[in-house]
Structure 1
Amino acid sequence: MIIDHMGFGVADYERSKAFYTAALAPLGIRLMTEIAAKDNISLHAAAGFGRDGEPLFWIGAEGRTRPFMHIAFAAQNRAQVDGFHAAAVAAGATDNGAPGLRPQYHPHYYAAFVLDLDGHNIEAVCHTPA
């Protein structure tokens, strides 16, 4: 792992927090912590999502959504990719690539893509054979 954690600002913090809570649940990723604006160096509320006790993905209440971001969440199997896509779309995302193989990346690259509520390209990917 070369990146410790990452995050970006969202236009509507509460709405985006609900979206990511629903969309990431099939991947075993959950809301782990929230930092109040008064306690955060950015002076904006932030929500940290992760698994295995460590929040690695953060959204912040900055009210801005640029620059455009792409993030890929690791799935443990293809069923999690499918579940992520269904949950994300049900939570308000726009389909940006249905679950399936993407052999242009490598033979076992199974992924799904959605555009989140702010237009960021969010992916779930599994690299293992079926």
Structure 2
Amino acid sequence: MFSHVTVGSNDIARARRFYEGVTAALGLERQADYPEAVAYGRPGGRPQLWIVRPLDKKTATAGNGVTIGLDAADRAAVDKAHAAALAAGGSDEGKPGLRTHYHPNYYGAYVRDPDGNKVCIVCHKPA
């Protein structure tokens, strides 16, 4: 359904450190690396998650109500990505666990990246 998602950052080097561990835990790889942007995608695919300095040169800010959802292959990957996010300067917004109010197999974790963007790491498969 989506072509790509773009997340704003005021410090691309810091954002790269944060997203490297998160995306690696999810089987994604860095596919583009520029002074003002870095992008990730599935191996053999195209970049679909872009971290960029805003093109208008204004300060990047997190959107209220905006969450970037990253799909995990299994629950262990959710746990690993959450730990990597915290180790790389992210803040916890919800530890890994079931959220059955969404559906019976929704296993997710929530973090904020160093710029304040909310990221959900989720596995929709049964244990």
Does the alignment reach a TM-score above 0.5?
yes
Spell out the pairing of 1:63-102 with structure 2 (5 A cutoff): 64-68=59-63, 69-102=66-99
Structure 2 distance, partners of 1:102, 1:7, is 26
**Alignment RMSD:** 1.4
Count the aligned residue pairs. Answer: 121
Q: TM-score, normalised by structure 2?
A: 0.88
Instruction: State the distance in 1 between where 2:99 and 2:24 align.
Output: 23
- Report the residue type matching 1:49 in the other structure: Y
d(CA) in 1 for partners of 2:43 and 2:15? 22
Deviation at 1:50, TM superposition (A): 1.0
Q: Does 1:51 align with 2:42?
A: yes
| Structure 2 counterpart of 1:27, one-letter code | L
Measured against aligned partners, the alpha-carbon deviations of 1:75-114 in whole angstroms (never above 9, x if no partner) come to: 0100000000000000111011000000000000000110
- Aligned structure 1 segments of 4 or more residues deviating by more than 4 angstroms: none
Q: Work out the CA distance in 2 between the residues paired with 1:20 and 1:67.
A: 16
Using the TM superposition, give the Cα deviation of residue 34 of structure 1 relative to its aligned residue in structure 2, in angstroms: 2.1
Q: CA deviation at 1:35?
A: 4.1
Q: 1:123 aligns with which of 104, 120, 123?
A: 120
Structure 1, unaligned runs of 5 or more: 37-44
- Mark the runs of 5 or more structure 2 residues left unpaired by the alignment: none
